[in-house]
Structure 1
Amino acid sequence: MSKAQRTKSDRNMSARDKIREQQAAARAQERRKKVVTYTTAAVVAVAAVGLGVWYAASSSQSEQAGAGLAPITLQPDGSAVMAKAGVTQPVVDIYEDFQCPVCKELERVSGQTFKNLAAEGKAKVVFHPITIFSREPTKSNSVRAAAAARCVADGKQWMAFHDLIYKNQPAETVEGFKTDQLVEWGKDAGVTSPDFESCVTSQKHASAVLADSTKIMKDQAIEGTPTVKLNGTSMGEAAFSPQQLRDAVTKAAK
């Protein structure tokens, strides 16, 4: 091979080497781009999950007690209307059974929101204690509790008693809400009705509880408790999210 041929061959090899180096560099740069892209996507995904968890936690967090309770008016059918003077809309109806574990959970999670909304003048909140159970001992437990609540004449005392009943809710498989217990909880709630004890022990309102429960469930198409309605429309799971509950009621008030 002549010197000229070797020089030409060297130049060709050098060119090929440069091309290979450029291709290798391009591949390395592409790999770096992919790593950056995947890392960025992972960070965004983690951030999105974190935001979702934060939102879920914040929207389900129970509210703190406000300044106080709105006035509470007790009705002949055992319901309790909680609203500031002149507030008629929107209406939040809570159909509950004192023996219902899910009702207890609703009270734990959203009970304070119901009270705050009424106290802020943003809603008229109506509690409807009913009996939905047909089997024992849950049926009798429920009736005794609801009948005892009707023995309270003062609205503020009624709410304190209402909350204590849920706090002391028995298991569904045992006899509970015994009359002597209900009388004691009434004292703890500050109930001052002079005939409260005799009213509870005699279960004076038991028959009315059953009759009114049947009527309410039929008229309002109540299939289970708790059922929370906003202006007559069921709120579903939103009632268990204090933030969603507040947002829905606030929107309805506009």
Structure 2
Amino acid sequence: MSTGSHGNRPTRNQQREAARAKAKELREQQHKNDKRRKLFIQGGVAVAVIAIAALFISTIATSAPKEGPRPANMASDGIVLSGANMAAVLSEAGSPGADPVANLPMPGSSTVAIEVYQDYLCPACQAFDAANAEQLQTLVEAGAATLELHPIGMLANQSAGTKYSIRSTAAAACVANYSPDTFWKVNQAFYANQPQEGTPGLNDDEITALIDAQKPQNQSKIAKCIKDKTFVPWATQATDYALTGPMAQAAKDSGAAGVGTPTILVNGKVYTGSIVDPKEFLAFVTQVAGESASTTPATPAAG
């Protein structure tokens, strides 16, 4: 009888010790998982958004080009709409890879500056738009407000690998560059045709068709811009900058748990009320407008 292999087998004691060690390891891992799950539940949606953002940033940092051309009319990484017909405020493109230049509200101005950081895959962004688009347009066309839209790709990893958030952001930049006065209509079309999270979303041809339906200027240039992915590097940079720059600081200053979409600022103050209650949002805009007006420097009396 051959016994040559028995000398390498662990003894029963060794087997028991190995089993205990493995069980301990599994318990510790389960404890860590339970603790992590509890933290996510306690932190709510804001913590989940931070986790998504962190995962997204770590992915794009290694996979995306570091620099690319900037779109015209988005000097702040957002497009400013002002006056009748939601016309765009024009600006130069700037150097590839350059940091955006923020639009600062004028102290004492009766026109409030409303900024919206949004993701075209984000259901909450769509909900805010559905509730507030009409009154936002009314405020802008009446001259009571400017609207600065910042499309970003925060949910790039939530579209079955197609990075729909980044592609739609880049396509919106093509519109800003070649047909800026059509941006508002295109923005609304993206929300009207919003895909569900976890699905591939619209492909580039479908995005092009969606934009073409809004009758923009320079349709062929926009189509080529989308096909060539001209502004995909910029969309990546703009998203990274939004999640680590002024929007993140504004959210922190407001006491928010983290950065998410939509993030809405009125004269730099973060709106933390209901995103689906237009009356509550309008009340906030009115309040901030009153506070800003009260800071107007007094005119010295004539001597």
TM-score bucket of the superposed structures, by smaller chain = 0.5 to 0.7
Change (3 A) 1:134 1:168: closer
Q: RMSD of the alignment, in Å? A: 2.3
Whether 1:123 and 2:142 are equivalent positions in the alignment is: no
Shift of 1:136: 4.2
Shift of 1:238: 3.9
Partners of 2:188 and 2:209 in 1: how far apart? 14
CA contact (8 A) 1:98 1:165 kept: yes
**Residues 78 and 195 of structure 1: is their aligned pair in 2 closer, same or farther, counting only changes over 3 Å?**
farther
Q: Note if 1:74 corresponds to 2:73.
A: yes
C-alpha contact 1:77 1:212 (8 A) present in aligned 2? no
Residue among 200, 210, 234 paired with 2:270? 234
The match for 1:185 among 188, 203, 210 is: 210
Distance 1:76 1:205 in 2: 14
Distance in 2 between the 1:134 and 1:226 partners? 15
* Preserved contact between residue 157 and residue 189 of structure 1 (Cα < 8 Å): yes
Question: Structure 2 vs 1, CA of residues 177 and 230 (structure 1 numbering), >3 Å: closer, same or farther?
Answer: same
1:92 aligns with 2:118: no
Contact 2:110 2:144 in 1 (8 A): no
Q: Pick from 279, 282, 286: which aligns with 1:243?
A: 279
5 Å matches for 1:220-231?
220-221=247-248, 223-231=259-267
Moved more, 107-116 or 150-159: 150-159
Structure 2 residue aligned with 1:150: 173
Deviation of the 1:109 alpha carbon: 0.8
> Which one-letter code corresponds to 2:174 in the other structure?
C
- Of 200, 205, 212, the match for 2:231: 205
- TM-score for the superposition, normalised by structure 1: 0.66
Rounded to whole Å, the distance in 1 between the matches of 2:217 and 2:77 is 18
Is structure 2 residue 157 aligned with structure 1 residue 135? yes
Letter of the aligned partner of 1:126 in structure 2? E
> Is the 2:111–2:143 Cα contact (8 Å) retained in structure 1?
no
How many residue pairs align between the two structures?
182
Q: Is the 8 A contact 1:96 1:128 kept in 2?
A: yes
1:35-91: CA deviation from partner (whole Å, max 9, x where unpaired)? xxxxxxxxxxxxxxxxxxxxxxxxxxxxxxxxxxxxxx9314541101239977421
Give structure 2 stretches of 5+ with no counterpart.
1-71, 84-88, 90-105, 252-258, 291-303
CA contact (8 A) 2:112 2:289 kept: yes
The AA in structure 1 aligned to 2:209 is E
Would the alpha carbon gap of residues 212 and 88 (structure 1) be closer, same or farther in structure 2, given more than 3 Å must change?
Answer: farther
Counterpart code for 2:287: K
Mapped contact 1:82–1:125 kept (Cα < 8 A): yes
Of Structure 1 and Structure 2, the greater helix share is in 1
Contact between 1:92 and 1:229, CA under 8 Å: does it hold in 2? yes
Match of 1:169 in 2: 194
Question: What is the rounded CA distance, in whole Å, between the counterparts of 1:91 and 1:209 in structure 2?
Answer: 23
Q: Secondary structure at the match of 2:174?
A: coil
The structure-2 alpha-carbon separation of the partners of 1:136 and 1:253, relative to structure 1 and needing over 3 Å to count, comes to closer
Matched, 1:110 2:132: yes
Code of the residue aligned with 2:277 in structure 1: it is S
Whichever of the two has the greater Rg, that structure is 1
TM-score under structure 2 length normalisation: 0.56
Partners of 1:96 and 1:103 within 8 A in 2: yes
